[in-house]
Amino acid sequence: MLDLLFNWRAYSPLDVVFILLSYAMIILIALPVHELAHAFAADRMGDPTARWNGRLTLNPLAHLDVVGTLMILFFRFGYAKPVPVNPRNFREYKKGMIITSVAGPLSNLALSLASLAILRLLLFVPSPPLFSHLATILLWNFAQVNIFLAIFNLMPVPPLDGYRIISNFIPPRWAYSIERYQLFITIGFIVLVLGGRFGYIIQFIANPIFKLFLFITGLG
């Protein structure tokens, strides 16, 4: 989205509309699917907390976070409201935490791969060049941002999914210290993101994954 904001002359008005539409799809589809995946996994592992709190749904209003949504618009990665989880309800604590935490990022990777597969199928269908061009903008950007979301949420920083995963493997005293200063760590992390440098890290990790998906779908 930063490319759109600062290099907008490179895009036609119709291109801009479809780029914005891809971000609307991220906000209204990808984020709810991500959080639903967390809620569904937790529910299956024995914790009904998310279901009781109305998070076992695709309704965007149940999941969206204002700051996380704005980050997606400006930085191409962000977050939604964390799904409430009570690990004490899991039948197996560590297994439940890991599966629940990884379910969200995996759902984004699945959406990315699916959007590229749909794009590949559309390219088989004879259509006007303008339709192919706009479909490529829409689905290509949707695929990329979903990968960015998956990687961002796997960062080992509270309250992101990556921290929920590694917290099962680090010494309890480390986890206690991190959670004690979670607010300051989170603020520092957001400041780092807003500084603009973090996007290069996401891009560096995302590129090989995107190329792999392009190869799998025959678009590479």
Task: Classify 217 as helix, strand or coil.
Answer: helix
92 is catalytic: no
Catalytic residue among 1, 4, 18, 35: 35
Structure tokens at 113: 């791969």
Of 46, 169, 155, 168, give the one whose Cα is nearest residue 104: 155
DSSP string, 83-142: PP--GGGSSSHHHHHHHHHHHHHHHHHHHHHHHHHHHHHHHHS---HHHHHHHHHHHHHH
Length of the chain: 220
Active-site residue list:
35
